[in-house]
Structure 1
Amino acid sequence: MGINVDLTVVWAFIIAFAVFMYVVMDGFDLGIGILFASFKVGEERDQAMNSIAPVWDGNETWLVLGGGGLFAAFPLAYGVVLTATYPLIIAMLLGLVFRGVAFEFRWRDPRHRALWDIAFSLGSFIAAFAQGVTLGAILQGVQVENQAYAGGWLDWLTPFSLLTGAGVVIGYALLGAAWLIWKVEGSAEAHARRLALWAGAGTLVAMAAVSAATPFLQFEYWKRWFDMPGVLATAQVPLLTGIVAFLFFRKLRGGATAAPFLLALALFALGFAGLGISLFPYIVPDSITIWDAAAPERSQIFMLVGTAIIMPVILAYTGWAYWVFRGKVGTHGYH
C-alpha cells in the first residue's frame, strides 16, 4: 500500500507538471492569437506569426501528455471531469483546430489572409476561454454520485467559471505580449510593450478576484489557506506574487526584453502553486482524491517507466528548438 500511495503522488506531480508546461508554453502563442487583431496588417502581424512558427505545434505536445496521462493514471477523474465539461473540451479542441488551420493557410492563401487572421484570433480566444472556464468548473466542484458525474449539461456555467475564463484569456494575453517583447522588433515590439502593461495590470486584478472568491466556494479551501499554522506558509504565495509583479513592471518600464516574459512565467507558476494549495489532495474537489482516482499499482509502474523515457526526450527537443530559434525575429524569419 505504501508504494501505491507514493506512486500516486508522483503521478499527481507528473500530471500537474505536464499541465503547467502546456499552460505556459501554449499560453503565449494563444496569447499572441488573442492580441493578433491589435497589430497592424503586414510586417507587425508577420513578425508575430514568425515568432511562434517553429514552436507552436510542439507546445501542444504537453496537452496530449497531460490529457493522456490523466486518462491512464487517474481514469476515474478523467471520466468525471470530461463528462462534466464536454461542451468546454469540444470548444477548446475546435478552437485549436481553427487556429492551427489558419496558421498554415494564411501563408498559402494570401487572397483570404484577412479571413484566416480572424480564424486565428477567434480560435485562440475560444481555446483560452474554454480552458479558463474548465478550471473554474473544476474549482467550484462537480456533483458526483457512485463515482460518476451526476450533474447537468450546463452546471459548469457560473459567474465564477466565467471569471476564471476571462482571467485565463487576460493571463495568456500577458504571456503573448511579453513573448513578443522578447522576440520581435521595431513598432511591433513597442506595441507589445504597451499591451503587456495593460495585460499585466489585468492579470493581477483577475488573480486577486479569483483568489478572493475561491475560499468561499468550499470550506475546505478556506481551511487550507487560513488555518494556523498553515497560513504562515500559504501567505508566502501572495507575498511572492506582489514581489514578482513589482519586478515585472519595473523591468517592463526599464526596457528589458527577456525579463518581462520570465517574470510573467513566474506569476503563472505562483498562480499554479495557489491552485495546488486549494486542490491537493483532491483531483475532483471534495469528492475524489488522487488515491480514489488512481489506476492500479502495476499500471502506474508500467506507465512510469515509459514516462521516465519519453519526458526527458520531450524536454530535450523542446529546449533544442527554443535554442536554435533564439533571438529576434524579422518579417522573413529569425536573424
Structure 2
Amino acid sequence: MSVSVDLATVWAFIIAFAVFVYIVMDGFDLGLGILFPLFPAKADRDVIMNSVAPVWDGNETWLVLGGGGMMAAFPLAYAVLMPALYTPVIAMLLGLVFRGVAFEFRWRTRRERNLWDIAFAGGSLVAALAQGVALGAILQGVHVEGRHYAGGWWDWLTPFSILTGVALVIGYALLGATWLVMKTEGELRERAYHLSWIFLIAMLGAMGAVSIVTPFLHVQYTQRWFAWPNIILTAPVPIAVAGVSALLLRSLAKKYDYQPFSLSLMLFALSYAGLGISLYPYIVPQSITIWQAASPEKSQLFMLFGVAVLIPLILGYTAWAYWVFRGKVNTASGFH
C-alpha cells in the first residue's frame, strides 16, 4: 500500500471524526432550539439557554475543522459537492447565524425577546433540516461528469433528502431532550423526560425508514449491506441499535439522569457507523473515491502535523469547559 493511500485513509478518518464530534456536540445544542417552542415559560427558556451557554459556540469549531479539512485534504470532492449543495449549505449557515445572534441578543432586550426566541428556534430548525437534507443529497448521489458537478440547482431536493432532513431534526430533538434530563431539575426535567419518550419513538421510526430506503438507492449499497460475506460485518450494526434502544427505553422508564443522553449519543454513533459502511471508500458516492479526491501527498503530510497538535488542543479545552460547567442548572443559581 502506498503512502498516498495511507494518508488519504488517515485524512478520511480525521474528517469523519471531526464531523461526528460536531454532530453529537452541536446536535444537542440545535436540539434545544428545536424544542424551544415547546417550553413557552420564560423561566424554562432561560434555564435551557443557561444549560448550553458556556459551550455552544465552541461546539461549532468542529464544523469548521471538518469543512476546512475536506477542502484542504480532498479538494476535488469539495469542488464537486459544494455546487451540488449550495442551497442547503447556505441555508444551514444562515440558520447558524440567526441562532448565534439570537443567543446573544435575547439577554439584552425585554421588548423584543420573543422575536429573538423565534430567531433562535427557527435558526436551529433550519440548520438541522439543512444538514439532514445535505446528507440525503450526498447519499443519493450527485451527477458528476469528469471532474465537475453536472447536475442542476435543485437536484438535492428529493423525497429521500427530505426524509433524512426530518430524521436528523428528530434525532437532534432527542439529544436536546435528553440533555435537559441530564442538566435540569423539577418540572422542566419531567417535561424533558416526556419529550424524550416521544422523540425516541419518532427517531427509531425515522431510522428504520432511512435504513430501509438507503440500500435501494444504489446497487452498491445493497451489496455492501446484504451480499455475502459482507452481511457478517454489517449485521451487528442493527443488532446493536436494537440493544441500545432497549437500554435507552429502560433508562427513561427508570428516570436516570445521565444514561439517556449517553445512550442517545450511542444511537448517533451507530447510525454514523452505518453511514460509513454505506459510503466507504467513496467521498462522492459512486463517483469519486477518497484516493481520487486526495490532495498531493506532501500537502496532506504537512497538514497532518498541524492537525496532530490542533485536535488534542480542541479536545482539551472542550473537555475542560464541560468539566467546569458540569452539574445541574436552575433559575436561581445557574450551575451547582
Q: Under a length normalisation based on structure 1, what TM-score does the superposition of the two structures give?
A: 0.99
How big is the shift at 1:132? 0.1
Equivalence for 2:288: 288
Is 1:273 the counterpart of 2:273? The answer is yes
Query: What is the one-letter code of the residue matched to 2:136?
Result: G
Q: Distance in 1 between matches of 2:235 and 2:131?
A: 27
8 Å contact kept, 1:44–1:187: no
Q: Deviations over 1:5-39 (max 9, x none)?
A: 00100000000000000000000010000001101
Q: Distance in 2 between matches of 1:291 and 1:3?
A: 11
Number of aligned residue pairs: 335
How big is the shift at 1:199? 0.5
Equivalence for 1:107: 107
Query: What is the one-letter code of the residue matched to 1:211?
Result: S
How big is the shift at 1:110? 1.6
Is 1:236 the counterpart of 2:236? The answer is yes
* 1:124-163 alignment, distance < 5 Å: 124-163=124-163
Q: Under a length normalisation based on structure 2, what TM-score does the superposition of the two structures give?
A: 0.99
Query: What is the one-letter code of the residue matched to 1:333?
Result: G
Q: Deviations over 1:166-210 (max 9, x none)?
A: 000000000000001000111111111111101001111111100
Q: Aligned-pair RMSD on alpha carbons?
A: 0.7
Q: Distance in 1 between matches of 2:335 and 2:39?
A: 19
**Structure 1 ranges of 4+ moved more than 2 A:** none
8 Å contact kept, 1:282–1:289: yes
Q: Distance in 2 between matches of 1:105 and 1:184?
A: 23
* 1:77-226 alignment, distance < 5 Å: 77-226=77-226
**SS class of match (2:3):** helix
How big is the shift at 1:111? 1.4
Query: What is the one-letter code of the residue matched to 1:240?
Result: A
**SS class of match (1:283):** strand
Where does the alignment leave 5 or more consecutive residues of structure 1 unmatched?
Answer: none
Higher deviation after alignment, 40-49 or 310-319? 40-49
Q: Distance in 2 between matches of 1:5 and 1:173?
A: 38
How big is the shift at 1:324? 0.3
Query: What is the one-letter code of the residue matched to 1:215?
Result: P
Q: Deviations over 1:153-176 (max 9, x none)?
A: 000000000000000000000000
**SS class of match (2:283):** strand
How big is the shift at 1:41? 1.8
Q: Distance in 1 between matches of 2:311 and 2:52?
A: 22
8 Å contact kept, 1:133–1:162: yes
**SS class of match (2:268):** helix
Query: What is the one-letter code of the residue matched to 2:117?
Result: D
How big is the shift at 1:330? 1.2
Q: Distance in 2 between matches of 1:324 and 1:196?
A: 26
**SS class of match (1:107):** coil
Percent identity reads 64
How big is the shift at 1:40? 3.0
Where does the alignment leave 5 or more consecutive residues of structure 2 unmatched?
Answer: none
Q: Distance in 1 between matches of 2:228 and 2:266?
A: 27
* 1:39-58 alignment, distance < 5 Å: 39-58=39-58
